[in-house]
Amino acid sequence: MSTEAPTEPRTRVHYPAPIEAAIARLIPLLHGEYGLSARAVALLLLQGDAEVERLVRAQEGERAAAIAGVVAEIEPAFSGPLSYVIGLARQAAADRIAGRTASPPTRTRGGFAEWLGRAMMRPLTGLPILLIVIYFGLYQFVGVFGAGTLVNLLEGTLFDKHINPWVTAAVTRVLPWPVANSLFVGEYGLFTMGLKYAVAIILPIVTTFFLVFAIIEDTGYLPRLALLTDRVLKRVGLSGRAVIPMVLGFGCDTMATMVTRVLETTRERVIATLLLALAIPCSAQLGVILALLAGWPAGLAIWAGVVGLVFLLVGYLAAKLMPGQPASFYIEIPPLRWPAPANVLVKTYTRLEWYLAEVLPLFLFASVLIWVGQLTHVFQWAVTVFTYPVQWIGLPRPAAVAFLFGFFRRDYGAAGLYDLAQSGGLTPPQLLVAMVTLTLFLPCVAQLLMMSKERGWRTALAMAAFIVPFAFGVGFALNATLRLLRI
């Protein structure tokens, strides 16, 4: 390539005459520094780009009015918006170039990929496929392998046997006072609980989930799932696109709440955030719940049924109450393809990196909160407060601690209930009621903070204010129903 000054591009898009005339009139008026050619700026102005309009107003001073005048003048000359007309001209140019240089494939992609892709898009075949994906991807890989094998390895062997005792000894030597060292290595210490929780328990579960998600994402399955679920999601005020944060929510609700950014309207984002906080259990929770209720399939079914019902009902009501336009749905369906290992690893790594940077500190912060809470006896007071609604839904008083913990560590709350059940403190129906209520209960501290960040603290607070009584309300109803049916 020569190093001479750039010449006129060989391929230029020619727009309809009135637009070219307007561009010619605009170019002499544009004196400022934009980092773009004057023609590009003129075109952006005609398309109504808000950002460029702002720059032009700032840079052109008294010429800005004349510029706006030129744009306003040619708008009525066309039956559609200018951005549309310009877009059409570009499309035509692109077609011409493609026509000269590329030829369409003579044979349409047939074969297994095509067949499978189509099967995924029809409800009759798509639903069984979804169930298979859930079983192998979620239950087996994330649940059994991630939450079971990996967690046991990291928590039981690595932390409990090796790291924790060593750190505890070291810290107690440096800080012999119980108040100080309990912050770091006490029962809920920064290291013994906060870090262990984040690294030994959540990290393996979330890693396995991100891995599975990246594989599914790379194959092109998600858009097909989106089109299958669009009609159902429309009933709860969302569109098929919301399937992406919803599915992510089964891995980590905090990340999913951040991902609600991909949704178009604020209305969709708010409804999705609410449903994620209320009815989508994250993988940490799922792991424990599956382990606990595995021996009682009917209980598992009831749990899933109640949570699913809550999802649909609350979503439906939220959609009715929230003002705004209903969501529209459009998504490109890529051809089905084998996932590329490099892609999968990069995606997993990126998400993990985000997780370590954003979420891990929050769990450390939670440890500090509990430490402070215990010192000031606020913690104990909070437990006492919780005993009331807990008893009201038919559970014994010790269950209150589990709920409070459920806020800081979702699985700790569930595990606390497990211990209670094992020691005979909870009957199976009580366990079921507790599980359902815990699932619906306040999101974990990390998620709540993410909700405040994404939707504003007022909205997050309003959601929390709704969720807590609602969760206990459902627990009450379930308890009453179970009593009525079982006794």
Q: Which residues here bind another protein, judged by CB under 8 A?
A: 79-81, 83-84, 87-88, 91, 104-105, 121-123, 223, 226-228, 230-231, 234, 239-240, 328-335
- Residue 200, amino acid: A
* Backbone phi, psi, residue 279, to 5°: -115, 5
* Residues 208 and 146 sit within 8 Å (Cβ to Cβ): yes
* Residues 440 and 423 sit within 8 Å (Cβ to Cβ): no
Q: How far apart are CA 235 and CA 275, in angstroms?
A: 13
Q: Residue 329 or 355: which CB sits closer to another protein?
A: 329
Q: How far apart are CA 423 and CA 415, in angstroms?
A: 12
Q: Residue 135 or 330: which CB sits closer to another protein?
A: 330
Helix (H, G, I), strand (E, B) or coil at 264: coil
* Residues 46 and 19 sit within 8 Å (Cβ to Cβ): yes
Nearest distance in Å: CB 18, another protein? 13
Whose tokens are 């396995």? That residue is 208
Q: Residue 117 or 299: which CB sits closer to another protein?
A: 117
Nearest distance in Å: CB 116, another protein? 14
* Residues 348 and 214 sit within 8 Å (Cβ to Cβ): yes
Nearest distance in Å: CB 91, another protein? 5
Nearest distance in Å: CB 97, another protein? 14
Q: How far apart are CA 325 and CA 242, in angstroms?
A: 16
Nearest distance in Å: CB 331, another protein? 5
Q: Residue 105 or 295: which CB sits closer to another protein?
A: 105
Nearest distance in Å: CB 162, another protein? 51
- Residue 128, amino acid: P
Q: Residue 224 or 347: which CB sits closer to another protein?
A: 224
Q: Residue 48 or 61: which CB sits closer to another protein?
A: 48
Nearest distance in Å: CB 266, another protein? 14
The closest alpha carbon to 252, from 455, 440, 443, belongs to 443
Give me the torsion for CA of 460, 408, 311, 328, rounded to 10°: 50
The closest alpha carbon to 293, from 402, 432, 417, 396, belongs to 432
The closest alpha carbon to 221, from 336, 339, 331, belongs to 336
* Residues 237 and 271 sit within 8 Å (Cβ to Cβ): yes
**Cα angle vertex 434, ends 452, 195, to 5°?**
50
Q: Residue 261 or 377: which CB sits closer to another protein?
A: 261
Q: Residue 28 or 105: which CB sits closer to another protein?
A: 105
Output the CA–CA distances (angstroms, integers) from residue 97 to 15, 19, 92, 100, 417, in the order listed. 16, 22, 9, 5, 66
Largest Cα–Cα distance in the chain?
A: 89
Nearest distance in Å: CB 224, another protein? 8
Nearest distance in Å: CB 114, another protein? 11
Nearest distance in Å: CB 50, another protein? 14
Whose tokens are 């955030």? That residue is 273
Q: Residue 119 or 477: which CB sits closer to another protein?
A: 119
Q: Residue 264 or 353: which CB sits closer to another protein?
A: 264
* Residues 331 and 226 sit within 8 Å (Cβ to Cβ): yes
Nearest distance in Å: CB 354, another protein? 28
Q: Residue 333 or 480: which CB sits closer to another protein?
A: 333
